[in-house]
Structure 1
Amino acid sequence: MAEGLANHFLGDRFEAYSAGTEATRVNPLAVKVLAEMGIDISGHRSKTLDEFDGESFDYVVTLCGDANDKCPLYIGGTQRSHHGFDDPSRCAGTEEEVLPEFRRVRDEIKTWLLEYFGVRK
């Protein structure tokens, strides 16, 4: 969700990429709650950090504890930060029961991204 939100709201200043500590899938509920905001991530795919080996980034942001622990140190002036969010994909229940959690985390990530990068929208 963070990649889609960042590219949508900050795409005029940054290009965001996302990767996880393991390849899974893009959760259909993440696709759904971003579509509610007019953001299409249906073509995204799950990637691991290995795909970005050797790349240089201005910012490296980790969003969950597991990634914060496993994310390698990027050298070369990169600003690294961590902000932990709940993982809504770990919630149990029906789609109707879990969707509010995806929306809550989506909104929290959006708010944090805009504040962190100094954008008022």
Structure 2
Amino acid sequence: MTDRIYNVLFLCTGNSARSILAESILTRDGASRFRAFSAGSQPKGAINPFALKMLRACDYPAEGFRSKSWDEFAKPGAPVMDFVFTVCDNAAAEACPVWPGQPMTAHWGIEDPAAVEGTDVRKEAAFNAAFRYLKNRISVFTALPVGSLDRMTLGSKLIEIGQLQGATRPRPSAA
């Protein structure tokens, strides 16, 4: 058994909702084996209050998060990522920075709960669904014997996780 801790980066466009939820879930549920981070291609600069409300309601960490650019993780001196997961279709279609260390990547897209309009009850329901889908993916991921799988098998498993219930499809990038 290895004592290695793997670095995982969750990416979304705004880094205000889905990627924050995923970072918090992995921070708590994978604390002994994984270190979670999140970032966005065009960070909003603030965390969506419904994301924080959802995390608190489910007893997950909700403090200390900030909306930040993915460029922070491509700079010299940044933590080297072992895994990079896009949780938003827009981010999956964008040209990502070159990540030091050649991390394994996969798309785990789900609908954007922050895009839901209407009553607070509708918004809370959307955040609840996003939380459940991300928690399910992260539970499957943390159960993988990461250190004992070859890169090809692990890559296939990561893609399968992204196709679990609630999956969206990335939009094609503009040519």
User: Which string of whole-angstrom CA distances, capped at 9 and with x for unpartnered residues, describes residues 35-92 of structure 1?
Assistant: 1111132331101111112332111111111111222343534111111111100000
1:17 partner SS: strand
What is the match of residue 117 of structure 1? Answer: 142
What amino acid sits opposite 2:50 in the alignment? Answer: L
1:13 to 33, 39, 42: 33
What amino acid sits opposite 1:12 in the alignment? Answer: S
Question: How many residues were matched structurally?
Answer: 119
The list of structure 1 runs, each at least 4 consecutive aligned residues, that deviate by more than 4 angstroms after superposition, is none
More strand as a share of residues: 2
Structure 1: any 5+ residue segments left out of the alignment? Answer: none
Structure 2: any 5+ residue segments left out of the alignment? Answer: 1-20, 145-175
What amino acid sits opposite 2:93 in the alignment? Answer: D
What is the match of residue 81 of structure 1? Answer: 106
1:15 partner SS: strand
TM-score, structure 1 as length reference: 0.90
TM-score, structure 2 as length reference: 0.63
- Name the Cα RMSD after superposition: 1.5
Asked whether the equivalents of residues 40 and 67 of structure 2 are also in contact (C-alpha less than 8 Å), the reply is yes
Larger radius of gyration between Structure 1 and Structure 2? 2
Matched, 1:92 2:117: yes
User: What is the identity percentage for the equivalent residue pairs of Structure 1 and Structure 2?
Assistant: 30
